[in-house]
Amino acid sequence: MSSCCGSSSGSNVQAHIDKAQRRLLWTVLVLNGVMFFVEFIAGWLAESSGLIADSLDMLADTLVYAVSLYAVGKAIKYKANAAIFNGTLQTLLALLVLADVFQRLAFGSEPNANMMLWVAGLALVVNVACFALLYSSRNGDINIRASWICSRNDMIMNVGVIVSALLVAQLNMAWPDLVIATVIAIIVLRSAICIIKDAIAVKAGEKTDISGCCG
């Protein structure tokens, strides 16, 4: 009888944890989704590869959170598969950013430094908020950890875009914007590879979570 009650209590605790994870992921999903549209439109108008790269990273994060929501409460196999999907998606988006950089190198661009500065600053505020929300859960579920890694990287990227905007304004040249876009793409690729490798290891039973190698 006590065993039955213990099982029921354990199920209730897990259900509470799953509900908290869903609420957390929905919050950061909405924040990143809104910021993706703001940054992408601003990047397009400002002719900024850096802002476009940052916006696509926001989109990757949004979809990461969406897939992570799907994985909450499911078996480890499903969570690992979701993490692999997340890493693959980030890889594709990073390659799209690199393609945009090459296109702008070939045809030229005149990024609007002022718009870059303000929008990147807003993105930084959003990512700091997401980082703070995810911080306490960073050592838990593998997809929550992947989400925290994304937010941590994003803050670094936002600062990079801000610095590039200041350089564009100072030098009146586009190359700082193209450099930061390339750096963002490389960081995303590195994190994506780490997430995929760790998720594969989790599926094979070699690991139980995503390690700190990502980011």
Residues in the chain: 215
> Does an H or E element contain 130, and which?
helix 113-135
Q: What is the CA radius of gyration of the chain?
A: 19
**Residue owning tokens 């990227």:** 157
The residue among 1 and 12 whose pLDDT is bigger is 12
Please, what is the average pLDDT of the chain? 80
CB of 134 within 8 A of CB of 20? no
Model confidence at 202: pLDDT above 90: no
Over residues 99-132, the pLDDT tens digits come to 989 988 888 888 999 999 999 999 999 989 888 8
Supply the pLDDT for residue 208.
59
Q: Does the pLDDT value for residue 211 go beyond 70? A: no
Report the Cα 176 to chain-centroid distance in Å.
22
Reported as a single tens digit per residue, the pLDDT across 59-114 is 877 877 777 677 666 667 777 787 788 788 888 888 888 998 998 888 888 899 99
Where do the DSSP E strands lie in 55-186?
none
CA distances in angstroms from 23 to 13, 92, 208, listed in the order given: 16, 28, 23
What distance in Å separates the CA atoms of residue 110 and residue 113, rounded to the nearest whole number? Answer: 9
Per-residue tokens: 51: 């802002």
Angle at 79 between CA 4 and CA 54, to 5 degrees: 140
Average pLDDT over residues 167-186: 92
Name, in order, each residue with C-beta under 8 angstroms of 96's C-beta and a sequence gap of 6 or more: 56
Position 141 pLDDT exceeds 90: no
**Amino acid 116: pLDDT:** 94
Q: What is the CATH number of domain 15-203?
A: 1.20.1510
Calculate the alpha carbon distances from 161 to 19, 55, 75, 102, 184 in Å. 35, 11, 39, 18, 9
pLDDT at 20 over 60: yes
In this predicted structure, the answer to whether residue 56 has a pLDDT above a threshold of 70 is yes
Please give the residue that has the higher pLDDT: either 3 or 38: 38
- Rounded distance, CA 207 to CA 200, Å? 9
Give the per-residue pLDDT at 17.
Answer: 55
